[in-house]
Every structure is written in C-alpha cells, then in structure tokens.
Chains A and B, each alone.
Chain A
Amino acid sequence: MHPLDDSLAHLTRRAFIGRGAGGIGQLALGSLLLSALAGRSEASQVRSPRGLAGFPHFAPKAKRVLCLFQSGGMSHIDLFDQKQTLVDFAGKELPPSIKGTQRVTGMTSEQTQFLVVPPIAGGKLCGKSGLWISDLLPHLQTVADDLCIIKSLNTEAINHDPAITFMNTGNQLPGYASMGSWVSYGLGSENEDLPAFIAMVSQGSGKNPDQPIFSRLWGSGFLPSSHQGVGLRPGGNPVLYLANPDGIDREHRRAMLDDLADLNALHAAESGDPETLARIEAYEMAFRMQASVPELVDVSGEAAETLELYGPEVSKPGSYAANCLLGRRLLERGVRFVQLFHRGWDQHIALNRQLPNQCRDIDQPTAAIITDLKRRGMLEDTLVVFATEFGRTAYSQGGFGDPSAGRDHHGRCFTVWLAGGGVKGGVSYGSTDDFSYNITADPVHLRDFHATILHCLGVDHERFTYRFRGLDTKLTGVEPAKVVRGILL
C-alpha cells in the first residue's frame, strides 16, 4: 500500500471507528472509502511526500540543497576573482581587446571612458587550498577549504529581471519553473509536515530597497503549484495564514477539524469522490504544520554558542543571519530545497560605501552555516549553493574615484560557489583574464550549473522533463548543458 493510502486508512479508521463519531461509525464505510482511493485522479492528490517514480536516477551525493542567493549581482571582482592587473590598471582605460564588442547595459553604454577599478579591499590566500577571498569576508575566509569556487560562470542576460529569472528558472522570460520547484517535483519532501521547498527573503543593508524580486523566482511556473516555494516569514505568521484567528486555540481547532473530517468522509462515502479524502488529509497536514512551523522557527532552544556562531544579527528577525539559522533547522527537518534571497547587491553607485555593508550582512552567517552543517555531519549530503544573477564590471560606472561611483552588470563571467554534497572543497574552477572580464578556461554556463546541481541530487537533467507548450521542457532548457565533472567528488 502506498504510504498516503496507509495514512488515509489510518485516518478513516480514526474517523469511523476510533471515535465512533456521532453514531455513524461503520467499518464497511471506511473500507469503501479506501477502495475508492485506487482510482484517485490527478486533481485529488495532496502535495506528495514522495518524488517521481524512478527518482533519483542514480545514487545522489546530496539529499538536499541550501541556496544562498545574493540578489542584485554580486561583485566577483571585489570578492573572489581579483587580479593584480586590476591594481596596475587602476584608473586606466580597460583595453579594447578585453572589452571587445560584447554588449553592456544601457546604464554605461553611453560612457566615454571605461576606467578600471581595482578591488575595493585587500584579500588573502586562505586555508590549505590557498583560495583568494576578500578581506570583506573574513569569516568566509576561514571556511575556504570547504568551498568550490567557480569563477567562470556566465549568462547571456545583462539586466536584472531576465538574469535573475534565468538563474532561478533556466529561462530569461517568465513562465518557467524555479529550481526549487523542479527539485520538489522530482524528489518530493522528506518531511510530511513541511513543504519540500521553502524560500526566505532578507533585505540588504548595502542597498535598501534594492532591485525588486519576484515570486516567479520561487514559483512553480508550469509545474503543479503544489511545488511552488512556500515563503517563510518572520513574525507571528511565519507561513501566510498559518495562525488560527484570534479567539481560536489549537484544541478548539482540533475539535472543528474532527467534525470536518467526519463530514467530508460522509460526503466521500456518498459521492464516491476520492478527492474529498485527499482533502481530509490536506487539512490534517495543515494542522500538523500549525505545530511544526512554530516549532521550527522557535530558536530559543539553540545553544548560545550556536547563536554566536551566526553573529549578532541572528537575533534580528528577517535578517540574512536569522534566515541562515532557520535554513539549517529546515534542512535538519528534511526540507528538500531551502532558498534564501538576500537583496542589496546592485552596486551601481557608492561601491565603497555599500559593498562592505552587504558583505557584513552575509559574511559571518554564511561561514556559520557551513561550519554548523559540517559539525552536525550534514554538509556531506547537503549541497550549499552560493549564487547571484551576474557579476560586475571591472570598469567604473561613474567617474573613477568618485564616492558615488560603482560597477555595472557583467554576465560574461562571474563567481559562484558550491560546498558540501558531492563537490570538492578548496578548489577553484574556471579562470578569467587579467581583468576578470572574459573567461579563459573552463566556462560554466548557468545551464551547466543547473545540470551539476541536479547531478549532485542524483538527477540526470536530460531525463528530467515536463511537457509544456508541446515540449519536454527541462530546467536546463533546449541548448546543450553539461555536468561540470571537474568539481565533483
């Protein structure tokens, strides 16, 4: 018997026998309902705790994903991919041979000068692996040996909306399914009391408000909407509509749901409608969520030392640090895909002022979650994805040295990193030219990146399709995509 059938069997037994509800308990009725389950139609299915048949395709290295998405376009130049030449050319025109004919955005395309700006802070070679990481990220420097830094990520998109949509859904235009919803669809959840895909948003202190973000980034697109990312928010209603209305406590709700289950079961028996049974189960799951989510977001039981690890902002609801800690708690509970969106990385202006703030938001908590997962033995089967929609230009947007100047968008090459489940630690993959402007070796298109993430989860991206608009649509799209084998354990 399928596990859901089993739980419904239990439920109907409870409704009809266990409590002898209102004199209508009869065993025959219960089994009649159960027999109706066999032909349950597509519509009647509760959010599945399990994934698709045949998934994963092969033994996964990672069971779950934590995606730390830095929204706005994080500067690879300042933080991960610095070059001495950038220092040498400070204030000088970016050589035309480097700049080439590739398109730039409408914000700088009219500039007459493209003056090179070196990284705004120093950095050092970290750990045994000697990866270079900016001094703006001192905590991250300490976990360098766990990181697999990809410096050759690239995208065709150069503006936020298409770029962030591309990175999160595999297509520049709206209408497609997000990474997390694909994973939820394919692999399902490991926890029946929580959604398989949870998303959280935090505001950056470098730039607030920054570029808007969109629910399509965690939406289900053409996939059934039961796979959309469920927003987890700070406050008394961490999931929208979770809290009972004022005046109704949990016990009171339970009593009402018992009546509801009885009435729905009666209707199912009368109508032969298996959807009604599935709805009973949905209400039961909702009731369980009303307990499991508050328990999840209650961090009062966390050790003081753990809280310290994440840094002072962990006590600030809705902060990136607080979301990182919640992320760990979600992963512990079997949530398949947790995604944080941290806004504020769009440093067109005041790079010197904004970027250190942004880095401070994320530095300690990001290092902390790597450490925390590792010491709990979870890093080896959790894939941590640290990504953004594009990098930033080597040249100045605005006058060189002007405190108001920043960097424009740069999709030709940018840096992301992976850690944990299935990838090598302490490695740098792909390389860029002396100005961190063009890729010189091992390009990784974002499609390849998606294919690699799926691979770590035991999924062959070529065989993971959904029929939409007449096509077997894939997260990796229609163009060829390859798994980046060189970074895999």
Chain B
Amino acid sequence: MQHEKPIELRKASQGLLVVLALATQARAAPADRPVDFNRDIRPILAENCFACHGFDEHARKAGLRLDRAESAYEELDGITPLVPGDPEASEAWLRISSTDPDEVMPPPSSHRALSEAQKGLLRRWIKEGAAYADHWAFVPPTKVEPPRQDVAPIDAFVRARLATEKLEPSPEADRATLIRRVSLDLTGLPPSADEVAAFRADSAPDAYVQLVDRLLASPHFGERMALPWLDAARYADTNGFSIDGGRHAWLWRDWVIHAFNSNKPFDRFLVEQIAGDLLPDRTDEALAATGFQRNAMITHEGGTIPEENLVNYGADRVRTFGEAVLGLTLGCAQCHDHKFDPISQRDYYRLFDFFNQTSEPALGGDGGVNAAPTAQLRSPLVHDDVDALRARISTLESMLAVPDDAVPGSVAAWEGQQRADLAVRGKDFALHPVKLLKISTPNTGSGFSIRDGRYALVERPMGFVAFDVSMELPARTAPITGLRIVMHPDPDAPAKGWGWATDEGVGKGEKGSFVVTNVSLSAGTIPSDQVNLYRLLPLRTATANCWSVDGRPEGVLNTKANEAWIPDIGVEGPVRLTLTFSEPLPSDATHLTAQVNFGRHGNVTAKRMEFFLVSGNDDDSTLPQSIIDIVAKASDVRTENEWATLRSYVAKHAPALASLRSDLDYVRERLAIHAEAFTALVMDTAATPRQTRILHRGNYADPRDPVTAGVPSALPPLPEGAPPNRLGLAQWTVSRANPLTARVAVNRVWQLLFGTGLVKTAGDFGTQGEWPSHPELLDWLAVDFVEHGWDVKRLVRQIVTSETYRQASHASKAALDRDPDNRLLARGPRFRLAAELIRDAALKTSGLLVSDLGGPSVHPYTPGDPWREISHYGSTPATAQTFSQDHGARLYRRSLYTYWKRTLPPPNMATFDAPNRETCAVDRANTNTPLQALVLLNDIQFVEAARAFAERILRRDGDDAARLAWAFTEATSGEPTPAVLAVLARAIARERAAFAANPDAARRLLSNGESVRDATIPAVEHAAWAQVAALLLNLSETSTRN
C-alpha cells in the first residue's frame, strides 16, 4: 500500500472514499473516452511494473521491457507481452489477471497489487490498441486553443474541466478577501484595515487590476517570490555538514529578491544562476547569481575524505538542478539507471560533469570564512535612501553625543546609579578559596593540570579552546555573590606574563597575555567535570582590575569571540576577573564548574589560574578609574573635558541608551551595504579540468568509465554551438526545445498562488510524478510564458487577475466532499500561511516591522541558546556555534532575513513547516499542530507584537466597539460580524477585570519584548488590549489566506 500522505485521520471517515473516488475520476478515462497512455496507463505501469520491466537494464527481469512499445510488442521465446487489440493473447494481461500466486504480476513478493479498476484500464488499453506515447513532460508543450474565447484562457481551461465534472465555479470573493489574498500572495504581507476600506470603497472597474499592479511594483514582491526559491535553492547561512559553521551567503539571497523586483526574465534568472560566471558579458551581478550552486552543504570536518565530499557536493548540485529547474528526480541515477524515468547512470554523470569543474575545495568554510571560490561583490539590492541613512546616522550620533537630549536625565540617572554602586563597592568583601578538582578540554589530553588543588595550569600555548575547571566549594556562612578568577604571572610564560599570547593586539610582543571570550558557570551538589549548559548561573556583572581598550571584562558575559577580556599589558602582578551572580549561590551548592573559553584565535590561553568564591560586594568596578574620579567630583567643578569624557562614556555604556546604540549600529550597517563590497560564494572553473567518471553504485571509491559533460539522451541535445560547459547547460535549460523548464517554472508560480501546482509533484515531472490536473492549461501557460519573454510579473498578473484565482474560497459540504483538496478549482484556494508570513504579518499588524530590504542575516528572539547545546563551541574557530540574539531593528526584520542555521533552524519557523534548507525543497508540508499554537501564544516575538498592536489600537479614537472592529480588520482583513464583536467585547471586559484585580500581572505581561512601551498608557488598560490583540493574532483567519 502506498502512503503518499498522512491519511490517517481520514481512514475511518467517508472522506477517504471520496478522495479515492475523485482520484479515479480525475485520472481515469470515462468509458466513452479512449484510454490515454500517459494519463491512464503509464502511472500504473510505473508504479507496478517498471522497477523490473523498465529502463534500468541491470534490474530488468526476464529481459522484458514494458516501457517501450517496440519491446512490449516483440515476441520473446514464443511469448508476446502485448498484442495490440487482443488482451487474451497478451502474456502481460494473462499474468496480470492470473490468480495463481506463482504466475500473477506483480508478484506477491513485490508487495504491490493492481486494483480491479486498474486491471480494467489495462485491459481496455490493450483492447484499444495498446498505444504508447512519450511521457508527456518530455514532449515540448504546445499551445492549444483555449476551449472558449469569452473568458481569459486560464478560466476557459479551468471551466472546461469543471463542465466535464459537472461542477460550477464559485462567485468572486468579496473585496476584503481579494485584497488580503492578493496582498499576501504578492508581497507576503496582509493589507491594513485602511487599505481594505479603500479597496472596498473603490468603485473603479479596474480597481482590482490597479491593486495588482501596485503590489507587483512593491519592493516586497521580490521578497515574497524569493521565499520558495530559497527553499528550492537550499539557501542558508551555515555550511550544513558536521560542525555547521557560519558562511556569508546573503548576497545571493539579495540577488534573488532583486531579480524578482526588477522582473529579470526568468530564462536569464536561470542562466545567471547556472552559469553567470561564464557569460561573455559577465557582470558582478551575474557572478553573484552563481551563489545558487554554492548554497550546497559543505564540510571541513577533519577526517572526511576529499573525494567523497566532492561527490556529495556535486550530487547535491545535480539534484537541486534536477528538482528545482527541470522537475526531475535525478538522484536515483547516481547509483543505477533510473527505474522509472529514462535517465541512465551515464546521463547522470554526464550532467554531474558540468558541475564538477569548479575549484571549490573538498574541505572548507572553517572559521566563518567563505570557502573558495569567492568574490567581493556589491549587493544588487539597493533600496534604501542613502541620504536618509546618512542623515539618520548623524542624528543618532548627535543624540548620543548629548545623552541628556536623547533620553532626558540619562546622565544624572546613570551617575546616580554609579555613585550608589561605588558607595557599596567592596562592602563585606571576602574571598573564599576553593579546592580545584579537575581541568579538562575536549581536544587534547595533555598540556594542562591542577597543582596543589589551587592552580589550574595551562602548560603550553593553545587557541580556540575552552577549559572546564571543576571545584569543590568550602563550607561558608556568608551568601556567595560571585566568583573570582586570578591570572598569575608565571615564570614559564613569555616575559613572565600571565599567558601565552604575544601577538599584536594582545601583548606588546614580549609579555605573554591572554584573551578570555567567555566564562560559563554551573553549580550543584555533585562534582561535575563539565559545565552544565542547561543550568548556567545567570551573571549580573563582570569586572576586572584592568583591561585593554578593546578588551573590557563584560565581554566574557556573552559568547561572541570579538567581545573578550584582555588585560592591560602595562599592569604588574596578578590580574583578576570577578563575576557577580544575579542571585547568590544556592546555599546547598557544594561544587562549581567554570568553563573558561580562550576562543578568539591561536595561542591565547592564560598560564596559571586561581579561583575564589566571593562574598559581599565586588571590590572592583565596571568603571575605569578615570570615570570613577569624574563621577566622584561634584558636577559644578568638572572641567568641560571631564564632562565630555563622561558623556561619551554614558553614550557608550549606559543601558538607557542601548536601543540608540543598536539603531546606530544597524543604520551604519545599512549604509555599508550600499557603500561596500562583501564576500560572496560564487562559481568558477578550475584551472585543471577534473575527470568525471561513472561511480559504480554511486561509490566515490569505485570510479569506472570516464564521461564528458552532456545532457540526458532522452531529452533534446545541447543547442547548436553551445559550449560543453555550464554555459551550454544553461542555454539548453532555457532553449525552446527543452520540454521541462518553462512548465516547471509556471507550475511553481501556480503553486505559490494556489497552494498546489497544476502538477502537484512540483519537483517531479517524471513518470512517477502526478498527472497534471489541467494539462492543456499548464502547456498553454508555459508556451505563453516563453513567448512573452519569460516575464514573471506578467505571468503572475495573468493568473491573479483570472476569475479562477478570484473565486470565493467558501466550500459547501458537497464541494468539500467532491474535491477536498480543490484540485478542480471550483473555488478559491485557501491554506495556512507559510511560517515566515505568519511572523511577518504579526510584525506588520503590530507596527513593529522593519521593512528594510536585504543585508546580512539577523538573529531575532530565540529561547536561550539552543545552538550551543548541539554545537562544537569551545573547540573550533567555526562561527555560528552559539546563538547571540540581536537587539533593536534587527528583531523586527522580515523572516526571510533570519539567520538560518541548518542543523538547528529557527524553532518558531521549523514548527510551521519551514524546511531546514539542507537539501532542495520544492514543497512545504502544511501541518497543524499544538506546537504551532504554543508559538503563537507564547513566543516572545508574538507576545511583544500583541503588546505593540494594542498600542496601535489604543491610539485610535472611538469606543471599544470601534476599536475592536478596526483591530479585527487590521489583523484578518475581514469585517467582524455582530457575533464576533460580542465575543471580543466580552473578552476586553474580562481582561480589564482580570488585570484590574492583578495590576502586577499587567506590568509583567507588558515587560515582554525589548521595544519600548508607551508608558503614558495605563498598564491595566494596555495589558487588557494586549490580550485581545493576542487573541486576534491567534485567530485561524489571521494565519490563513483564503
């Protein structure tokens, strides 16, 4: 039995019968219509017979082929498999209809069986002449005359099919539904309530077409169209295999968005991605496009075998090219001739050869550095107003220059806090020696030790290394407030310094220093060699007795390699780092483990470390002495210079100005995107050609016959004069003779707009793929697309202005029974939004969305640091081993800019079926799970969005009813019915009462999220509306496009 999809819930209901009945209707010829080989027979043969009697000569049994007429009609040892017109003389029919288990085909051992309906079809087919036809998708499409001329061609084809099925199309959807549907489809963002109202009120006959044109011109069009292409192209920000370190791939992503926005003809879109580097008129932009092929996963895992890696990389390129561009599942032919499609193993390796000629190394991509070949390129996606960016930068800079102007009273408030802290500095301070038990590090077994239970020694220079030091804690009475690590000068270290680092920027070239990038602590009642990642002690501050300019101690509180504690080389004697816990250490803790990470680069370890518990207040300060001196002075006696120093310090460090600092950092990055070139992964041609060979059973270690580049023999040859390289392949791909490319392309656009393609198996147009629901329409669209210059915007416009697209999606029970998956298109498409669109819609509705285009990927809210739990952090120069959340604008970018780590994609996206982007994905599942409900209810991103949406609601004039009505439309685009308003009115009343009874709960709810709340709104009122806003963001309608 086949299990193509999760039918479990249908099994006991009549739904299954309906589906099966429909499938039969959809595929089988009615009794009065001749059997069509491709539609009716090939799927049965492919499913049940070709594995042993098909194209793969190695698997062929009894020398019999049923995939070609000439073989099937041929007499073999006195037996003829198929005698056209005479089933009873056809051996195939006799075997198929046999009841003898030794005779019957397919044999019981294959676990396959033909249904009576299938047998009937086969018999009819033989009776009618057993005519074969080439597989439909391998025959170039032709444009047949649409069945009627009074409607648009799309509608003509769809209606003709409906007529044969005796179904009626649905009426046009209402205006609100239409604007929501087309806005989400073309930009990925829902319309605002105002836009809905304006569209409702627009009586112009072409109001809808105008709307479509406006959306096609939106810069967000490219973002929306890019999304499925990023899946197909397995775009991500990490290398994928093994350590899964970071890469810089975003420039290619921006190229894609720009290509759609600028309506790059789709043939050119493909040519540049396949062979942009080989184009005679090559531009930087075309070179950036070749990143498509560099999206493949790579590894730098030591011990991997180069030949094996290169085969994996190449195979991934062939597979992606096959599924995303040609709609063929070529992967089967890596190991053997394809069982179902006419793709031989030789064909496979000839295609492989096109992609095998790059200089990309077998191991690469470590340390966050892109693997070769790379190029320094400018982003083609220039969208921001550069002058505005510059102006914004100078505004932010001047705000930070005078902190009191930016945040009134910020200097005094900060000073007050510092004076309060300084006043209690060192109060009751005491150190408590601990007993060191063990020191360990993962990648080396020697070179470190514990001496006298007191010192942890690192006996030779090492880098990219974390040491775990476990210790036994003394009995104590005072609450323990922190941990101190003292780095001692050591006679064995360079120039009697504290550590092994003597390179520039750390020491002065003689005295050994060190770089601590992170300290993580955990405590418990049993000794633990390793820090417990699941119970890290929260730390409030990190101080030191000295630091260098770029090495402030608070750098150890995060896992970023570029923020680290580096002591001031001029200081004599021991240097110390003091970590103060957020809460005193639990009194029952008897053991503590500290992980000290020296992760920046080579040879930056300390030499001799000593550890103490701290009670009382830290006797060091986060402030340098110069600032302490200024703070100590009365404000009226400070010099102007001192004021300037103080302001500058406040601007750089005061928490109250953090959001300004992140804004400035963000805007500077935006400007840099326009002004600078960035590293990009590109394709090239290796100086020495690689000899591609057929790999026996796909095994890299078993290369056999050499092959040269070529296209599958069942498809048209390379065009006349095309070079035998990727450029030739690209020309072939988009040539008129290619029967697949345009069909696959229009089908993908159809899939985006209807949820399901005309060919449901968007990545498989081969014989195992599904027969198109509307074959003539698919072909008509494909030919028309090519005839009009592969114009994507035109194609989209053509489809979304059709009456078919504009139908209401309301489904009666009868309609659902008849066609639950809406393949016949008797109603408008309805489906849950993609992961990214759900989050983007919430951001837009809340007003938090930062709608900038392109740029480096961002790290929005993620619970904790899930990366570290699975990664190689502390043991590798690779990046993306720990998660560091961004702040400010980067929290609110559209979701396609979220940093995509392949081994652990953003959990709130993965929950909504986003693929992990390890391999080509042309189709997303569309599931409905309780975990999705938990994301929408509890993910801080959505909780904050509800809070911000509430502010927008409260900024509107009007009573509750008016506000509720507006908010409902803003979230769902729909008009609330009185019943809906009644529920919402009940909700706001209840929420008000609940928070009035518990104002602290209101305050706590509103504290979720980093954006600044409008404090003029009373907390209870704000929280009550935030709950109603959350209710709206959780509605099924809000995450559905219908």
Chain A positions near chain B (C-beta within 8 angstroms): 1-2, 4-5, 21-24, 35-48, 50-54, 103, 105-107, 158-161, 173-175, 185, 188, 195, 201, 203-205, 207-216, 219, 224-226, 228, 230, 233-235, 237, 239-249, 252-253, 255-256, 259-260, 262-264, 266-268, 270-276, 278-280, 282-283, 285-286, 288-290, 312-313, 315-319, 349-350, 352-354, 357, 403-406, 408-409, 462-467, 469-472, 478
If A5-B13, A42-B5 touch, does A234 touch B937 (CB 8 Å cutoff)?
no
Q: Which of A2, A241, A249, A256 has the most CB of B within 10 A?
A: A241
CA–CA, A283 to B925, complex, Å? 19
Q: Which of B531, B983, B1006 has the most CB of A within 10 A?
A: B983
Query: What's the nearest-Cβ distance from chain A to residue B192, in Å?
Result: 20
Enumerate B1002-1023 residues with CB–CB distance to A below 8 Å.
Answer: 1002-1008, 1023
The verdict on B980 contacting chain A, using a C-beta distance below 8 Å, is yes
The verdict on B1037 contacting chain A, using a C-beta distance below 8 Å, is yes
CA–CA, A288 to B865, complex, Å? 26
Q: Report yes or no: B11 in contact with A39, Cβ–Cβ below 8 A.
A: no
Partner of B302, one of A39, A107, A208, A279: A107
If A41-B821, A260-B1034, A282-B928 touch, does A212 touch B1001 (CB 8 Å cutoff)?
no
Partner of B934, one of A247, A286, A316: A286
If A2-B13, A209-B871, A256-B1030 touch, does A279 touch B928 (CB 8 Å cutoff)?
yes
Q: Which residues of B are found within 8 Å of A244, using beta-carbon distances?
A: 937-938
Q: Report yes or no: A241 in contact with B904, Cβ–Cβ below 8 A.
A: no
Q: Which of B2, B525, B1034 has the most CB of A within 10 A?
A: B1034
User: Residue-by-residue, is B3-38 near A (CB-CB < 8 Å gives 1, otherwise 0)?
Assistant: 111111111111100100000000000000000000
Q: Report yes or no: A212 in contact with B870, Cβ–Cβ below 8 A.
A: yes
Q: Report yes or no: A54 in contact with B1, Cβ–Cβ below 8 A.
A: yes
> Which of B237-245, B273-281, B611-619, B847-855 interfaces with chain A?
B237-245
CA–CA, A253 to B935, complex, Å? 14
Q: Which residues of B are found within 8 Å of A23, using beta-carbon distances?
A: 979, 982
Q: Report yes or no: A214 in contact with B870, Cβ–Cβ below 8 A.
A: yes
If A40-B15, A235-B534, A271-B1042 touch, does A246 touch B931 (CB 8 Å cutoff)?
no
A-B contact pairs, 9 of them (CB 8 A): A159-B304, A161-B304, A204-B530, A247-B1004, A247-B1007, A263-B1035, A273-B811, A273-B1042, A279-B1036
Q: Report yes or no: B304 in contact with A52, Cβ–Cβ below 8 A.
A: no
The verdict on B524 contacting chain A, using a C-beta distance below 8 Å, is yes
Q: Which residues of B are found within 8 Å of A230, using beta-carbon distances?
A: 931
Taking A225-B929, A470-B341 as known contacts, 13 extra A-B pairs with beta carbons closer than 8 A to each other, sorted by chain A number, are: A40-B820, A45-B9, A208-B440, A212-B871, A212-B903, A225-B925, A243-B938, A256-B987, A266-B983, A268-B1036, A273-B830, A286-B933, A318-B535
Q: Report yes or no: A357 in contact with B870, Cβ–Cβ below 8 A.
A: no
Query: What's the nearest-Cβ distance from chain A to residue B922, in Å?
Result: 10
Partner of A159, one of B303, B937, B1005: B303
Q: Report yes or no: A211 in contact with B817, Cβ–Cβ below 8 A.
A: no
Partner of A266, one of B10, B531, B863, B979: B979
CA–CA, A165 to B820, complex, Å? 37
Partner of A219, one of B3, B916, B935: B916
If A38-B813, A53-B7, A256-B1031 touch, does A267 touch B1037 (CB 8 Å cutoff)?
yes
Partner of B933, one of A248, A282, A349: A282
User: Residue-by-residue, is B859-888 near A (CB-CB < 8 Å gives 1, otherwise 0)?
Assistant: 000011010011111110000000000000
Q: Which residues of A are found within 8 Å of B817, using beta-carbon distances?
A: 38-39
Partner of A39, one of B4, B111, B244, B813: B813
The verdict on B994 contacting chain A, using a C-beta distance below 8 Å, is yes
Q: Report yes or no: B530 in contact with A205, Cβ–Cβ below 8 A.
A: yes
Q: Report yes or no: A246 in contact with B302, Cβ–Cβ below 8 A.
A: no
Q: Report yes or no: B764 in contact with A465, Cβ–Cβ below 8 A.
A: no
Enumerate B248-273 residues with CB–CB distance to A below 8 Å.
Answer: none
Q: Report yes or no: B14 in contact with A241, Cβ–Cβ below 8 A.
A: no
Q: Which of A174, A242, A274 has the most CB of B within 10 A?
A: A174
Q: Report yes or no: A216 in contact with B903, Cβ–Cβ below 8 A.
A: yes
Q: Which residues of B are found within 8 Å of A286, using beta-carbon distances?
A: 930-931, 933-934, 937
B-side interface mostly = loop
The total number of A-B Cβ pairs within 8 Å is 402
If A235-B534, A349-B445, A471-B332 touch, does A21 touch B983 (CB 8 Å cutoff)?
yes
Q: Report yes or no: A161 in contact with B1030, Cβ–Cβ below 8 A.
A: no
CA–CA, A5 to B15, complex, Å? 12
CA–CA, A312 to B591, complex, Å? 13
Q: Which residues of B are found within 8 Å of A175, using beta-carbon distances?
A: 918-919
Partner of A216, one of B535, B918, B986: B918
Q: Report yes or no: B323 in contact with A469, Cβ–Cβ below 8 A.
A: yes
Q: Report yes or no: B8 in contact with A48, Cβ–Cβ below 8 A.
A: yes
Enumerate B510-526 residues with CB–CB distance to A below 8 Å.
Answer: 524-526
Partner of B4, one of A158, A319, A357, A466: A466
Q: Report yes or no: B6 in contact with A185, Cβ–Cβ below 8 A.
A: yes
The verdict on B733 contacting chain A, using a C-beta distance below 8 Å, is no
Chain B positions near chain A (C-beta within 8 angstroms): 1-15, 18, 111, 240-244, 297, 299, 301-306, 312, 315, 323, 329, 331-332, 335, 340-341, 440, 442-446, 468, 524-526, 528-535, 701, 761, 763-764, 766-769, 809-813, 816-817, 820-822, 830-832, 863-864, 866, 869-875, 902-905, 907-908, 910-911, 913, 916, 918-919, 925-935, 937-940, 943, 977, 979-980, 982-984, 986-987, 990, 994, 1001-1008, 1023, 1027, 1030-1031, 1034-1037, 1040, 1042
CA–CA, A304 to B178, complex, Å? 63
If A209-B874, A253-B937 touch, does A174 touch B927 (CB 8 Å cutoff)?
no
Q: Which residues of B are found within 8 Å of A188, using beta-carbon distances?
A: 8
Query: What's the nearest-Cβ distance from chain B to residue A289, in Å?
Result: 6
Q: Report yes or no: A208 in contact with B934, Cβ–Cβ below 8 A.
A: no
Q: Report yes or no: A313 in contact with B526, Cβ–Cβ below 8 A.
A: yes
CA–CA, A234 to B12, complex, Å? 39
Q: Which residues of A are found within 8 Å of B1023, using beta-carbon distances?
A: 247
Q: Report yes or no: A266 in contact with B1008, Cβ–Cβ below 8 A.
A: no
Q: Which residue of B lies closest to A230 (CB)?
A: B931
Q: Which residues of B are found within 8 Å of A283, using beta-carbon distances?
A: 930, 933, 937, 1034
Q: Report yes or no: B913 in contact with A215, Cβ–Cβ below 8 A.
A: no
CA–CA, A243 to B935, complex, Å? 10
If A209-B875, A315-B526 touch, does A47 touch B244 (CB 8 Å cutoff)?
no
Partner of B1007, one of A242, A246, A406: A246
Q: Report yes or no: B763 in contact with A469, Cβ–Cβ below 8 A.
A: yes
Query: What's the nearest-Cβ distance from chain B to residue A135, in Å?
Result: 20
Query: What's the nearest-Cβ distance from chain A to residue B975, in Å?
Result: 11
Q: Report yes or no: A234 in contact with B1005, Cβ–Cβ below 8 A.
A: no
Q: Which residues of A are found within 8 Å of B930, using beta-carbon distances?
A: 46-47, 282-283, 285-286, 288-289
Query: What's the nearest-Cβ distance from chain A to residue B154, in Å?
Result: 23
Q: Which residue of A lies closest to B1008 (CB)?
A: A245
Query: What's the nearest-Cβ distance from chain A to residue B115, in Å?
Result: 16
CA–CA, A255 to B1015, complex, Å? 27
Q: Which residues of A are found within 8 Å of B315, using beta-carbon distances?
A: 173
Q: Which residues of B are found within 8 Å of A212, using beta-carbon distances?
A: 242-244, 870-872, 903
Query: What's the nearest-Cβ distance from chain A to residue B771, in Å?
Result: 14
Q: Report yes or no: A174 in contact with B9, Cβ–Cβ below 8 A.
A: no
